């Protein structure tokens, strides 16, 4: 079901979509986007390469254990929730900080952003491990 056209387009789109997914993740707090949607975006482009080139071919040089990704994400998300306790705040209390960096200007650092990164990794890991398991099943 894969043609040269699909393969070529996939090759071009892959880096663009990954960058787009990261920008969605980082922009999420103020513009449309966020960890969930960024994660789904990332997962779908990897799924696209799996479909275009075949799971076995991709696995021969790129075969991460996606379950580690969602494990890491869940850990990160829980830690940001618990981190508030370490500063004697309530569970899940978030913090906002504005930092001024050269070239970038005013940057907003949000603890909820870390949580969002956790969500991002969980979504990627969860979806792709489901995808790989179903696809791998002979």
Contact set with another protein (CB under 8 A): 24, 28-37, 40-41, 43-44, 47, 51, 66-67, 70-71, 73-74, 77-78, 81, 91-92, 94, 96, 108, 110, 112-113, 115-116, 118-119, 122-123, 125-127, 129-131, 133-137
Q: How far is the CB of 56 from another protein (least distance, A)?
A: 14
Q: How far is the CB of 13 from another protein (least distance, A)?
A: 13
One DSSP character per residue, the chain reads ---HHHHHHHHHHHHHHHHHHHHHHHHTTTSS--HHHHHHHHHHHHHHHHHHH-HHHHHTT----HHHHHHHHHHHHHHHHHHHHHTT--TT---EEEEEETTTEEEEEEHHHHHHHHHHHHHHHHHHHHHHHHHH--
Question: Toward another protein, which CB reaches closer, 8 or 78?
Answer: 78
Question: Toward another protein, which CB reaches closer, 60 or 85?
Answer: 85
Q: How far is the CB of 27 from another protein (least distance, A)?
A: 8
Q: How far is the CB of 118 from another protein (least distance, A)?
A: 7
- Select from 50, 39, 61, 40 the least CA-distant residue to 116: 39
Q: How far is the CB of 8 from another protein (least distance, A)?
A: 19
Question: Toward another protein, which CB reaches closer, 10 or 129?
Answer: 129
Question: Toward another protein, which CB reaches closer, 31 or 60?
Answer: 31
Among left, alpha and beta (phi > 0; psi -120 to 50; other), residue 106 is beta
């Amino acid at each position: 079901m894969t043609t040269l056209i699909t393969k070529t387009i996939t090759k071009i789109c892959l880096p663009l979509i990954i960058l787009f997914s990261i920008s969605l993740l980082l922009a999420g707090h103020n513009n449309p986007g966020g960890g969930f949607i960024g994660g789904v975006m990332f997962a779908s482009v990897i799924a696209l390469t799996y479909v275009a080139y075949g799971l076995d071919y991709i696995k021969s040089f790129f075969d991460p254990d996606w379950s580690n990704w969602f494990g890491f994400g869940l850990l990160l998300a829980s830690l940001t929730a618990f981190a508030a306790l370490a500063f004697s705040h309530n569970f899940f209390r978030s913090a906002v900080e504005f930092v001024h960096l050269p070239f970038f200007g005013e940057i907003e650092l949000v603890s909820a952003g870390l949580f969002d990164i956790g969500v991002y990794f969980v979504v990627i890991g969860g979806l792709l491990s489901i995808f790989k398991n179903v696809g791998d099943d002979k």
